[in-house]
Amino acid sequence: MASSGFVLAGLYILVVASQSWAAVKVNMEDRVEVSLGQRAEISCLHEMDSDPSTAIIQWFAKAPGPNSARQHIYFMENSVRIPEPDSPFTGRITVEDRSPGSVVLILDPVQLQDELLFICQVDGKTEGKEEGSTYLRVFSSPEMPRIKKADSGILINEKDPSKIASCEVRNGYPLPNITWYRDRTPLQISEGEVGVVNLVTRDTNSLYTVRSDLHLKVRKEDKDAVFYCESSYFVPDGMAMTESIRINITVHYPPTYVELSLVTPTDLVKEGDDVEIRCYADGNPSPPLTLKHNGEDVDEQMLTANQEGVLLRNAKRSDGGTYSCTALDLDALDPDSGELENSLELPVHYLDHAVVLPEDLMVLSQGAILEATCNAVSSLKTHTVWYKDGRDVSEGHVLKLVNVSLDTSGEYRCVVTTPDLAGLRTEGSLQVLVQGQPQITDVTQEDDELSVNLTCVVLGYPTPSVTWGSSGQEDLNGLSRDTPILGGVISTLTVKATSALSFVCEAENTFGKDSRTVMVESMKPETTPAPATSPSGSVTVKPPRRVQKEGSGVIIAVLIVCVLLLAILGSVLYFLYKKGKIPCGRSGKQDLTKEKSNKDAIVMEMKTDKSDEAVLLQGVNGDKKAP
pLDDT tens-place string over residues 33-78: 999 999 999 999 998 888 888 889 999 999 988 888 999 999 998 8
- pLDDT, tens digit, 9 for 90 and up, residues 314-360: 999 999 999 999 998 876 655 555 688 999 999 999 999 999 999 88
pLDDT of residue 247: 96
Can you tell me the distance from the alpha carbon of 24 to that of 54, in angstroms, rounded to the nearest whole number? 12
| Contact call for residues 416 and 423 (beta carbons, < 8 A) | no
pLDDT band at 99 (very low <50, low <70, confident <90, very high): confident
- Percent of the chain at pLDDT > 90 equals 59
* pTM, entire model: 0.55
| Contact call for residues 492 and 453 (beta carbons, < 8 A) | yes
| Contact call for residues 132 and 64 (beta carbons, < 8 A) | no
pLDDT band at 246 (very low <50, low <70, confident <90, very high): very high
Can you tell me the distance from the alpha carbon of 208 to that of 509, in angstroms, rounded to the nearest whole number? 120
Query: Which residues of 100-161 form beta strands (DSSP E)?
Result: 102-107, 117-123, 129-139, 146-149, 154-155
- How far out from the chain centre does Cα 431 lie? 48
DSSP for residue 247:
B
Q: Is 360 exposed, middle or buried (0-12, 13-18, 19+ CB in 10 A)?
A: exposed
Q: How far is CA 574 from CA 89, 201, 467, 517, 597, in A?
A: 163, 153, 52, 42, 21
pLDDT of residue 283: 87
pLDDT band at 2 (very low <50, low <70, confident <90, very high): very low
pLDDT band at 292 (very low <50, low <70, confident <90, very high): very high
Domains recognised in the chain with CATH numbers: 24-139 (2.60.40.10), 146-252 (2.60.40.10), 258-349 (2.60.40.10), 355-434 (2.60.40.10), 435-520 (2.60.40.10), 537-618 (no CATH)
Question: Does 472 or 164 have the greater pLDDT score?
Answer: 164
pLDDT of residue 35: 96
Where is 617: in which H helix or E strand?
strand 612-618
Cα first-last separation, the chain: 222
pLDDT band at 567 (very low <50, low <70, confident <90, very high): confident
- Percent of the chain at pLDDT > 70 equals 81
pLDDT of residue 496: 80
- pLDDT, tens digit, 9 for 90 and up, residues 193-226: 999 999 999 988 899 999 999 999 999 999 999 9
What is the length of the chain? 627
- Mean pLDDT is lowest, of 142-156, 267-281, 321-335, 588-602, for 588-602
pLDDT band at 478 (very low <50, low <70, confident <90, very high): low
- pLDDT, tens digit, 9 for 90 and up, residues 499-512: 778 889 999 999 99
Average pLDDT over residues 436-447: 92
Where is 18: in which H helix or E strand?
helix 2-21
Count how many Cα atoms sit within 13 Å of the Cα of residue 195 in the half-sphere of its side chain.
12
pLDDT band at 462 (very low <50, low <70, confident <90, very high): very high
Mean pLDDT of the chain: 83
Asked whether the predicted pLDDT for residue 444 surpasses 60, the reply is: yes
pLDDT of residue 270: 95
Question: Does 508 or 8 have the greater pLDDT score?
Answer: 508
Average pLDDT over residues 570-583: 70
Kindly give the pairing relationship between strand 348-349 and strand 269-270: parallel
